[in-house]
Structure 1
Amino acid sequence: MATIYEFGPFRLEADADTLFRGAEPVALGGRAVALLRLLLEKAGRPVAKDALMEAAWPGLAIEESNLTVQVAALRRTFAAVEGGSSWIETLPRRGYRYVGPPAVTLPDGSRQTWLPSASSDKPSIAVLPFANLSGDPAQDYFSDGITEDVIAELSRFRSLFVVARHSSFVYRGSSSDIREIGRQLGVRYVVEGSARRIDKRVRVTVKILDAASGFTLWTERYDREIEDIFAIQDEIVGKIVSALPGRLEDAGREIARGKQTSNITAYDLVLLGNEKWRQLTVRSMDEARGYFRKAVALDPAYARAHANIAWTVVCAAFLESPAAPPLDDGRREIEIALDLDEIDAWSHGVFAQLLFLQNRDQAAETHFKRALALNPNDADVAAAFANILVYWG
């Protein structure tokens, strides 16, 4: 039975790892949600640091600074409500305690059904994590990378509402009915797919489903050389957009832009690096930076690799890593990235957070706004901007 907690204006649907404020989902990582769930279960009682770390990082040995970062993310979320920043109490040398509004446990039937109010007039779509059919769990990063690239490309269409990665990836390996997934995510269309990579070939299967009826609208299978993966992604995005009612825009015109790299090994290294930095530990951030630097060595004009090096520098600072590179190192990399691709929303978002760390608030705001203007669907940038606006007051 699913567990749903309601407290103040917030609602935690624990089985879906999703926090809502009113009818809108809150951009919050899975580890922070896991911590919140345990704190709410033990509301009013101390929760030891070891118990919290086991809840968010089961079976992993992590540094205590990672716990501090995730608790800070929760406090920033609650700070949007008067008095919310004090809902999680620090117990020195012991742990934390939830002391906010009483958390009421609701019946499963009260699950939230939300629709994106600002985008209700747009076709809404969610891309679920592509299944890895290679037989090797170590290849998950590759199928995840394809999924993330498709989400990123679809989000460039202003006439679409695209569910963010952190929301759609909740359904990895889910056996839920597609109509229930559509209802929970508040979307009309759902994309499912799979990827199988063997030696120098890749097979990708993808389909679009109507979430209201569960019917398949379009399906296609691509069986090609691995070097064709970029073309496959472009074709998938074009087919998805063209299959939706009204055909929106000329998909070919939107997609017809230079790919950041033609070097499949460099691309693979960036995917491996992405898998590492998402673990949000000091060690994994260092490993991710190593992958990105190798990608740059193979293709010095790979803008995303430069931007991601800068991102690991930003994350190392947030994680308070004792060996964090100087912020100026990250600034050099992000400036190279923007020189190579000035209209990349992700790069502007990374630059904004780096500038924020350097106490250059006005310049940070300029780049945040530029990122959101380039890609209004980018939930990660929007969430980061919102958190920093809360910090600014």
Structure 2
Amino acid sequence: MRYFFEDYSLDTERRELRRGFEVVPTTRQVFALLDYLIRNSDRVVSKDDLVDAIWDGRAVSDAAVTTRLNVARHAIGDSGQAQRLIRTLPRQGFRFVGVVQRAQDAPAGSPATALDGKNASPLVGPEWLPHREIRSEVDAPSGAPGSLPSVAVLPFANLSGDKEQDYFSDGITEDIITELSRFSELFVIARNSSFTYKGKAVDIRQIGRELGVRYLLEGSIRRDGAQVRITAQLIDALTGAHRWAERYDRELEDIFAVQEEVARTIVAVLADHVYVAELEHAKRKPTENLGAYDLYLRGMAETYKWTKEGNEAALRLFYRAIELDPEFPTPYGAAAMRLAVRKGFGWIVDRDQEIAEVRRLARCVMQLGKNDAIAFVHIGHALGYVAKDLDDGVAMIDRALALNPNLGAAWAHSGWPRLWLGDADLAIEHFARAMRLSPVDPGKFWPQEGTAHAHFFAGRYDEAFAWAATALRSRPDSHAALRIGAASGVLAGRCDEARRLAARLHEIDPALRPSTLTTVLGPYRNPDDVAKYADALRRAGLPG
């Protein structure tokens, strides 16, 4: 039997929970709990019912039941506070209140996967989203909160005849995404998920189903010296009908005006109303210096390579952009973020100098940033992680979220400081929101690693290991995923796997020791958390 609700499918035969194409890691007990609640969604289930069904009638404390219920909620994007899908009825029990559709047999060509989230292999074969096939056509797909119009911006095609100009068309696309995401009337898919379709000939309706959006914006850019032609068209992903199209032949210096006009037109087409204050708030021209803007776009193209060489190249380009326009705030934050990446991947060059530089860059962003959410989120993360100025870092990230609540990266960045402050459940909620805003993100390993850490510090070691394993499938040599995988594995009783991960961690970072773990960790407020982490790595076999 397969159950479909919101963006999720639960397959009882394969014992698999998915959100879209992504397998959601679950332990067997959490899967059984979801299965039982969904199968009995027509009634209130008592604690005794759960104990009999999930724990075979063994004596189980209320705290243990609550913990497992909260893990189950997190797995399906719910929380104990929201109780959108799993509701607790005081002195009565629990009930799954989401709209559930059932199907008996998978269509031919449906993906074959492992028995549980811990060992699930990547999806192969035809792209198939059964829950999208059987649900009714509604204006707001279930990925979008409430009834917000939902949109994804596909990478604009580079028609300049020079592949070296890809960075420019990619950068313009990313800026349009950022402009759109400023409007609270829209649910906007994050850049990294949209860019998984770059260069692919995929059916519009299929993309809409995969991303969970109603509308798609696609277009092209042709750059010829100081001239630029941009075409854009807005398509209804359910019907394939064109809602709006336009062509802009402009001077290159007008590029920001074109971006703003595209964003404002789409909001006017999709939203029932747009607050004047938001329209005014979205007006921004990041720099008058097109050379600085061009260097910034080139730097961002390097960051998405996720390599040491790309990181260093990006850092140099961002500093060059700052030299050309010292009033342009975005590259200050981007440069600070590259220093944070150095620390996260074990590429630190001079720790004290880099801490001082992050603080200097932060002062510049605070003076120049104004309404630049991207600058604030990057500097906020770097302040917290590199300089360990956690309170100031959180304030910067919160400011970014206030400026742009649709900025998926901001929610991922926000999850880590909540974790360092000791609020594991809130961290999981923020990581989950980031993953909902960018469901097929190539950088999804980062919020997955964060979710693994949060479960680890909450004492849910099986869940932590499952999330670490998922992150490692995306990036096998991730420092953070190897660390938390080894630590959670040994505490979950997976000693052989934990030792294997610890050995790989030692290969890529031979200088790391449990005693020096703080050099790669964020500023955890509770020293017991760091001690627990270090002891687990020691037990997993990390030398020293």
Select 2:197's aligned residue among 171, 191, 194.
171
| Residue 350 of structure 1: how far off its partner (Å) | 1.6
Change (3 A) 1:207 1:256: same
CA deviation profile, 1:166-223 (whole Å, cap 9, x unmatched): 1111111222221121121111111001001111111110011111111111111111
- Tell me which amino acid in the other structure corresponds to 2:194: S
Q: What residue is the counterpart of 2:357 in the other structure?
A: 329
**Aligned match for 1:101, one of 118, 134, 138:** 118
What amino acid does structure 2 have at the position aligned with 1:214? G
| Percent of aligned pairs with the same amino acid | 38
Map of 2:22 onto structure 1: 19
Alpha-carbon distance in structure 1 between the residues aligned to 2:356 and 2:17: 39
Shift of 1:327: 2.1
Letter in 2 for 1:154: L
Write the deviation string for residues 236-267 of structure 1: whole angstroms up to 9, x where unpaired: 11111122252433498336634120111111
1:225 Cα deviation after fit: 1.3
Answer yes or no: is the 8 Å Cα contact 2:149–2:186 preserved in 1.
yes
- The partner residue of 2:401 within 357, 372, 377 is 372
Provide the residue aligned with 1:222 in structure 2.
248
Task: Provide the residue aligned with 2:524 in structure 1.
Answer: none
Tell me the equivalent position of 2:167: 141
Q: Which residue pairs with 2:295 in the alignment?
A: 269
Task: Label 1:362 to 1:10 Cα distance change in 2 as closer, same or farther (>3 A).
Answer: farther
Corresponding residue for 1:356? Answer: 384
Cα distance change of structure 1 residues 251 and 107 upon mapping to structure 2, 3 Å threshold = farther
Q: By how many angstroms is 1:12 displaced?
A: 8.0
Distance between the aligned counterparts of 2:233 and 2:362, measured in 1?
36
Contact in 2 for aligned 1:241/1:251 (Cα 8 Å): no
CA distance 1:232–1:351, change in 2 (3 Å): same
Question: Residue 242 of structure 1 contacts residue 251 of structure 1 at CA under 8 Å; is this kept in 2?
Answer: no
* Pair 1:5–1:12, CA change in 2 (3 A): farther
- Where is the strand percentage greater, Structure 1 or Structure 2? 1
Q: 2:414 corresponds to which residue?
A: 385
Deviation (angstroms), 1:288: 0.9
Cα distance change on mapping 1:107 and 1:145 into 2, 3 Å:
closer
The answer to whether the Cα contact below 8 Å between 2:155 and 2:173 also exists between their aligned partners in 1 is yes
Preserved contact between residue 338 and residue 347 of structure 1 (Cα < 8 Å): no
8 Å contact kept, 1:334–1:347: no
Tell me which amino acid in the other structure corresponds to 1:166.
N
How many residues matched? 314
Runs of 4+ in 1 over 6 A off after TM superposition: 4-9, 104-107
Tell me the secondary structure at the aligned position of residue 289 of structure 1.
helix
Larger Rg: 2
Q: CA deviation at 1:373?
A: 2.1
Q: How far apart in 1 are the matches of 2:345 and 2:234?
A: 39
**Residues 190, 356 of structure 1: alpha-carbon distance in 2 compared, 3 angstrom cutoff:** same
- Structure 2 distance, partners of 1:268, 1:102, is 43
User: 1:72-119 deviations in whole A, cap 9, x for unaligned?
Assistant: xxxxxxxx77xxxxxxxxxxxxxxxxx963437787445564944561
- Aligned-residue Cα RMSD (Å) equals 3.1
Q: 2:367, 2:396 → 1: CA distance? A: 14
- TM-score norm. by structure 2 comes to 0.53
In the other structure, the counterpart of 2:374 is 346
**Rounded Cα–Cα distance in structure 2 between residues aligned with 1:251 and 1:181:** 32
Q: When the two structures are superposed, what TM-score results if normalisation uses the length of structure 1?
A: 0.72
Quote the residue 1:150 is aligned against.
176
Which residue in the other structure is 2:113 paired with? none
Indicate the structure whose relative CO is greater, using CA pairs within 8 Å and at least 6 residues apart.
1
